[in-house]
Structure 1
Amino acid sequence: MTYHAKVIAGGKVVIPATIRRDLGIKDGDSLVVDRTDDGGVRLMTFEQSVRNAKAKARAIFGGDYTVDTFLKERRADWGEE
């Protein structure tokens, strides 16, 4: 479904209540604003942004690659293990 949002003074955008409720967005929540490749704007919750970053990392490094794995590899590179 498509909604309409208006930019008001100070560059503020009011997100329609239905979308806020559906996504669980509450007053004071942090949102991430991103430009898309086609010149659009994407608005995500902080949690969505983190999930997307984790998914990209899993795609690159594999599903079971952790910070501990990374640190173990770096220590091996530095001759610490």
Structure 2
Amino acid sequence: MVGIKEKTHYVVQVGSKGRVVLPAEVREAWGLREGERLLLSVEPEGTVRVEPLRKVVEEVYGLFRNVAPGVSWVEELLQERREEARREELG
């Protein structure tokens, strides 16, 4: 986790509508802002991993930056996410 130097555990509570509040220390360490998207990965054995989507996109972009020069994978993914969000808003 960026900004947190050692493995840390937090107890969080699931609220109404399945919402979980991330501790302020985590939000600050990740530089999270309201409305930012996170990637939630669940392993078969039950391990859950949460990370900022922008971090994952940046890592993937870094892996493929030489595959298609001139193509912005980040912009393409962000555009897809914007279209997804617009469809969700329209119902």
Instruction: Provide the TM-score with structure 1 as the length reference.
Output: 0.62
Tell me by how many angstroms 1:54 deviates: 3.2
The 1:24–1:54 alpha-carbon spacing in structure 2 relative to 1, beyond 3 Å, is same
Tell me by how many angstroms 1:67 deviates: 5.1
- 1:2 equivalent to 2:9? Answer yes
For 1:20-69, what per-residue CA distance to the aligned partner results, in whole angstroms no more than 9, with x for missing partners?
000011111111111124322111111122134335xx3xx7x622256x
Q: Identity over aligned residues, as a percent?
A: 25
Point out the structure with max Rg over C-alpha.
1
Aligned mate of 1:45, from 52, 58, 61: 52
Q: Aligned with 2:40: secondary structure?
A: strand
Contact 1:7 1:13 in 2 (8 A): yes
CA RMSD in angstroms, aligned pairs only? 2.3
Q: Which has the higher contact order (CA 8 A, sep 6+)?
A: 2
Separation in structure 1 between the aligned mates of residue 48 and residue 22 of structure 2, nearest angstrom: 14
Contact 1:4 1:16 in 2 (8 A): no
Separation in structure 2 between the aligned mates of residue 66 and residue 37 of structure 1, nearest angstrom: 33
What pairs up with 1:4-43 in 2 under 5 angstroms? 4-43=11-50
Instruction: Provide the TM-score with structure 2 as the length reference.
Output: 0.56
Greater strand proportion: 1
